[in-house]
Amino acid sequence: PEPIPAGWRRLALAGLALVLFNFAATILVIVGSAVALPRFHPLWLRAALIAAARVFANACGIIAAYQIAFAGRRRSIVPLGLAPARRVISTVALYLVLVVVVTAVGAAITRAIGLDHGTTSIDTDDRSLRYRMVIAVVVVLVAPWIEEIAFRGLLLGALWSRFGFWTAAVVSGFMWAGIHLTPSVLIIFTAEGALLAWVRRR
């Protein structure tokens, strides 16, 4: 018989596991590069090795999350947020307008209730070049992919199938905002996460 589809709990678990894999990979790459590459030259090769290690670690995390989601179940890339693109131009145009409005309203609410302290920026002043390279790789090359697959892919898809789209969009957006561990972005990122979920649905 054909395998049954992955249930919402399994997809949600896979999404959360991917977030944990991402944190673990970040720590391993930072510690590993400190041990293995302290005086490795030239600089561009050191940066390339760190980037390759980080991308490889997260590729392994994505594969592991996929296995958690679909072991013994019907396999699909749709729960990862991947599907044929439709209405791209109109969606991007609407998103660009809506993100300005959502960010402005979210920032106003954040200030009004006194959550406007803290930042998501990572302090790299007086840090080693190796540390700055790792942070650059994590923030630019890795985090966006992992966050989208985990939150707008697996977690959104899981909650959507169980609780409906808008509940799933807000909850996955809130969880995405929460992992940034900064009060100032909680409302803004929750709203923007819900907006990105709408982009995925559209």
pLDDT in tens, 27-73: 887 777 777 766 666 777 777 777 788 888 888 988 999 999 998 88
- Note the pLDDT of residue 26: 80
Q: Give the per-residue pLDDT at 104.
A: 96
What local confidence, expressed as pLDDT, does residue 107 receive?
Answer: 94
pLDDT of residue 194: 97
pLDDT at 23: 85
Give the pTM.
0.82
Q: Using an 8 Å Cβ cutoff, are 32 and 54 in contact?
A: no
Confidence (pLDDT) at 169 = 96
Q: Indicate the Cα dihedral angle 155, 158, 164, 170, nearest 10°.
A: -10
- The parts of the chain modelled with pLDDT lower than 70 are 1, 37-41
Residue with tokens 């630019």, as numbered in its chain: 140
Phi and psi of 74, rounded to 5°? -65, 125
